[in-house]
Amino acid sequence: MTTGAILFAQNNSTVDYIKLAVFAATRIINHLDIPVSIITDNPQWLTEHYPNHPFDQVIEIPIEATPQQKYFHDGTLASHKLDWKNKSRSSVYDLTPYDRTLVIDSDYIISSNILKTALINEHDFQIYSKSFDLASWRTSLEFTRINQYSIPFYWATVFIFNKNHITQCFFDLITYIRHNWIYFRNLYNIESSVFRNDFAFSIAIHIMNGKSNGEFAVELPGTMSYVIDKDILVDIIDDKIHILLEKQNHPGEYILSKTQGIDLHIMNKLSLSRFIDGGQGV
């Protein structure tokens, strides 16, 4: 059985997701010792700007004709409304060259080998529902359930699946949910009109579980740690990450925090990009 990781990277006018994916891939290879492939709509950008990239395979997908838009924050006081190309995630089943695949966002920074145990077990589908905000004073209700009274929230940020009939049905279901998003967001009382993979995965898992507490989705080891895009990355040194956390009730002010040996979802892609370019994220 072949095992490897997949990163999606679809640039917009400001965020070079391919650059983030190159950086994330080197971390995956160093800590998890598996090959990494990239799925992108712009392989020319990869070969022209990152000719020494670490990818096992480069898999091309079409450019999204009508991408969504959302605000990308860069700390508390700055934001940009940009294209957000996030509708290709369900195609990973057909596109992956591996029998067992780790799918990971390009802003999820691997700093440990904790996922190695998940890569060698036999569960068909593994994902995080448990999560931890480094800024512990913030409410995490939006990442607990998809709304206050609804089903559990699952992160599409990182997951592992085996290729078989069961998981194929799961990804087909996500595609169906995406094509019928207005119906499903009303059915599950989701306020936002924007399609999110987190919501689609949560709904699909709920259905695969027979709309009860089923066993389709198995929790990945540990807890997914994250910082939101109103926080700012300072630097990454080996397995240490320094972050400026948005101060409680004081917009524009921050508290310095450090992690070590912890995988971290860094939602502020702009500060992550600045760090990769050779400077600090601030």
Residue range 183-241, pLDDT digits in tens: 999 999 998 889 999 999 999 999 999 887 888 999 999 999 999 999 999 999 999 99
Q: Is the pLDDT of residue 107 over 80?
A: yes
**Strand-pair category, 79-84 with 3-9:** unpaired
Domains in the chain, start-ordered, CATH in brackets?
3-276 (3.90.550)
User: Three-state DSSP class for 45?
Assistant: helix
Average pLDDT, the chain: 95
What residues pair up with 3 in beta bridges, in sequence order? 100
User: Is the alpha carbon torsion for 48, 34, 165, 203 positive or negative?
Assistant: negative
What number of CA atoms fall less than 13 Å from residue 180's CA on the CB side?
12
Q: What is the DSSP string of 46-80?
A: HHHH-TT---S-EEE-PPPSS-EEEEEESSSS-EE
Residues 59-85: tens digit of each pLDDT: 999 999 888 999 999 999 899 899 999
Task: Please return the burial class of 44, using the count of CB atoms within 10 Å of its CB with bins 0-12, 13-18 and 19+.
Answer: exposed
Q: What is the DSSP string of 129-197?
A: --EEESSTTS--GGGTBSSTTSPBP-EEEEEEEE-SHHHHHHHHHHHHHHHTHHHHHHHTT----S--H
Calculate the CA dihedral of residues 212, 197, 130, 107 and round it to 10 degrees.
170
What residues pair up with 236 in beta bridges, in sequence order? 241
Distances (CA, A) of 257 to 22, 133, 233, 273: 25, 12, 10, 19
| Model pLDDT, residue 93 | 98
Residues 197-213: tens digit of each pLDDT: 999 999 999 999 988 78
Q: Is the pLDDT of residue 14 over 80?
A: yes
The average pLDDT across 237-250 equals 95
Distances (CA, A) of 177 to 128, 172, 185, 219: 20, 9, 9, 22
What's the CA gap between 218 and 117, in Å, rounded? Answer: 13
User: Is the alpha carbon torsion for 154, 227, 54, 196 positive or negative?
Assistant: positive
55 confidence band (pLDDT: 50, 70, 90): very high
What's the CA gap between 220 and 128, in Å, rounded? Answer: 5
